[in-house]
Chain A
Amino acid sequence: MLRLEPRRRPSKLMLGLTPVLAVIATMIAGGILFAILGKNPVEAIRIIFIDPFLDPFSRTELLVKGAPLVLIAIGLSLGFRANIWNIGAEGQFVIGALAGGATGLAFYPMEGIWILPVMAIAGAAGGFAWAMIPAFLKIRFNANEILVSLMLVYVAILLLSALVSGPLRDPDGFNFPESRLFHDSATLPIIISGSRAHAGVLVALASVVIAYVLLNRHVLGYQIKLTGQAPKAAAFAGVNANRIIAICLGTSGALAGLAGMFEAAGPVGQLVPALPVGYGFTAIIVAFLGRLNPIGILLAGGVMALTYIGGETAQLTLSLPAAAISVFQGMLLFFLLAMDILITYRVRIRRTEVA
């Protein structure tokens, strides 16, 4: 019979090999799906996985789509390492966009290079404050942060919808529920001309580096990891658990808020009710696919972005239904999550012992 045996240390080989295996398995399963739908499977797979790299615009769009995922996932991964489960990043994203966007609109039509930094601070502060609600309730009342942060997602989305149909509505917009377009000083600069890749991409990359240094070189990173792996030992070593909760939730909230503000002031350019498209939830998957490791998250964010952009292209060129892409993404995630086990466990074949 097959049996799982823990490895003494995670396998380096499998660390690199499992994502490849998962992608291959998805290609086979997805190919079968596409063939059933009457499409050429080889072409469909190529369009999803290869074509986005061949086209310069799609390449920059990978950055646009991947940046918020990476930024949010980096924040979440800190908490997840300490067993603090913020699954309300979507809500923090929305509040960050609202706070940052409202700040930008408040300064309309003033000019100045100081406006964007102020908006970014407001966005991060908004996300931070929204995340401090579950943090406070957990520290003070022991309330489960998974559930509080999830509930707050709906509150945040409804708040956005209420505000853009009310006080933040575009005065010249024929009563449509959306804000006016941000003016130039409140719009993120583009880093690759002719694309939508905005300054937020650089911040996302910087967050990867900072998280890497924090986790590997800084005592706080050590404390976070210790809290997750051995809470009792951490307490014994003098780690203040409440402080770690506040730091982890606060950081992830601030980064999600920042991502929300970047999204509003970058690719969208205004506040609209449809701003949240699930980055906060997808980032949870990205964090785990990246095994909570900053470099892994960067790669995982890239893969997720690839399936979105490749999926759109496949819809466009092969008339695949959107639902097929969603099934395909689900399969990819299942395979990636399933194969992870090979890293920390080895599969042993053992004959059933005869008693």
Chain B
Amino acid sequence: MDFSALNPIALVASLVVAATPLLFAALGELVTEKSGVLNLGVEGMMIFGAICGFAISVESGSPWLGLVAAAIGGALISLIFGVLTQVLLSNQVATGLALTMFGLGLAALIGQPYAGIKPPSFPKLDLPVLSDLPVIGPLLFQYDYMVYVSLALTVGIWLFLTRSRAGLVLRAVGENHDAAHSLGYNVILIRLAAIAFGGACAGLGGAYLSLIRVPQWTEGMTAGAGWIALAIVVFASWKPWRVLLGAYLFGGVTILQLNLQALGISIQSQYLSMTPYLVTIIVLVIMSADRSRAALNAPASLGRVFHKTG
């Protein structure tokens, strides 16, 4: 077997592209969950973002407008979930699942006229000198812009959660909503904002798929990516840096498996495909076993209904 045929630089490059939609969606879900809300509708929001972004790109000719539309679309559809769970106090698990069903259907309906159309192509970073450097150029400076946006978003969310007052408030709401409420914070409004942010990120993740990674629109094209994003948040123990790591690991396993096959190494792919899920469980167990550390990460009010009394 000739492993030298595996080009690590190209491997990393395709890994990044495969991981970026997951990264966007998982980062959004992380913020939502940090506010104490479990939204299982990521898949529905992603696919809705994918079609919103695609349709607006095609109609306007501008991929950037498409991305904005995807974020808005994702946020809007997530607010259905937001209003139901926060204002009308419906159960989050059931509402999230219903959102997935609704989003998949609505995206397919809107998308019918867009099958078989090529979207405007998306610009890639092209810095003079830097992008042309050997090894470093393709490794660091040749991706599409959204990859850098996703990395910036990771840093931004990390700073927001750990260094800003607003982030502190968000975490407080997720940790103990009653206490946050008695301190005078508007729990519902904060959570609605976190849900909308999560929806916008999921929408961007979906649009990355339909505009950059594949680029085309086909019904059901997210094919379960939203669920993987949910897994990544847990795998990451609700930390932005580990979300980045988790997304790249998940992306990496898929890419490596395909590349090894292209090299001629045969593997029983079903068993290999199980590994990310099993690894996530193991990570979760290790994290949770250490109760003092787990308490710092998992939002204590996750999935619980808040209603202010009095």
Contacts and interface: CB of A to CB of B under 8 A. Distances in A.
A–B direct contact (CB < 8 Å)? yes
Interface of A: 4, 6, 37, 85, 87, 137, 140-144, 146-148, 150-152, 154-155, 158-159, 161-162, 165, 281-282, 284-285, 287-289, 321-331, 333-334, 337-338, 340-341, 345
Given A141-B288, A337-B88, A151 B277 contact: yes
A334 B80 contact: yes
Contact of A142 (B274, B278, B291): B291
A330 to B, nearest CB: 3
Contact of B94 (A137, A289, A322): A289
Contacts of B152: none
A8 to B, nearest CB: 13
Contact of B303 (A85, A143, A148, A282): A85
B90 A340 contact: yes
B102 A4 contact: no
B89 A334 contact: no
B270 A150 contact: no
B109 A324 contact: yes
A158 B268 CA distance: 11
Contacts of B281: 137, 143, 148, 151-152
A37 B106 CA distance: 12
B45 interface: no
A324 B105 CA distance: 6
Contacts of A146: 38, 93, 303
Interface string B79-104: 01000100011110111011101111
A9 to B, nearest CB: 16
A216 B76 CA distance: 42
Given A284-B94, A323-B106, A337-B95, 16 more contacts: A143-B288, A143-B289, A151-B278, A158-B270, A289-B94, A321-B112, A323-B107, A327-B106, A330-B101, A331-B102, A333-B95, A337-B88, A337-B98, A338-B90, A340-B90, A341-B90
B297 to A, nearest CB: 11
A321 B278 contact: no
Contact of B285 (A143, A323, A330, A340): A143
B52 to A, nearest CB: 15
Interface of B: 38, 40, 80, 84, 88-91, 93-95, 97-99, 101-109, 112, 219, 227, 230-231, 234, 268, 270-271, 273-274, 277-278, 280-281, 284-285, 288-289, 291, 294, 298, 303, 307, 309
A328 B108 CA distance: 13
Contacts of B271: 158, 162
Contact of B84 (A147, A327, A338): A338
Nearest to A281: B97
A288 B108 contact: no
Q: Interface centre among A146, A284, A288, A334, by most B CB within 10 Å?
A: A334
Contacts of B268: 162
16 contacts: A141-B288, A143-B281, A143-B289, A151-B277, A152-B281, A158-B271, A284-B94, A323-B108, A323-B219, A329-B102, A330-B99, A334-B102, A337-B84, A337-B95, A338-B90, A341-B89
B148 to A, nearest CB: 30
A69 B309 CA distance: 35
B285 A137 contact: yes
B277 A337 contact: no
Nearest to B41: A330
Top 8 nearest A-B pairs (CB, nearest first) are A330-B102, A326-B105, A323-B108, A333-B98, A327-B105, A337-B90, A162-B270, A288-B94
A4 to B, nearest CB: 7
Contacts of B227: 150, 154
Given A147-B234, A155-B277, A334-B102, A161 B270 contact: yes
B277 A152 contact: yes
Contact of A326 (B84, B89, B102, B234): B102
A326 B97 CA distance: 12
A313 to B, nearest CB: 17
Contact of B97 (A285, A325, A328, A341): A285
Contact of A155 (B80, B104, B219, B278): B278
Q: Interface centre among B40, B101, B103, B107, by most A CB within 10 Å?
A: B101
Contacts of B107: 323
B222 to A, nearest CB: 14
B98 A144 contact: no
Contact of A330 (B98, B112, B274): B98
B102 A284 contact: no
A328 B303 CA distance: 26
Contacts of B289: 140-143
A327 B94 contact: no
B39 to A, nearest CB: 12
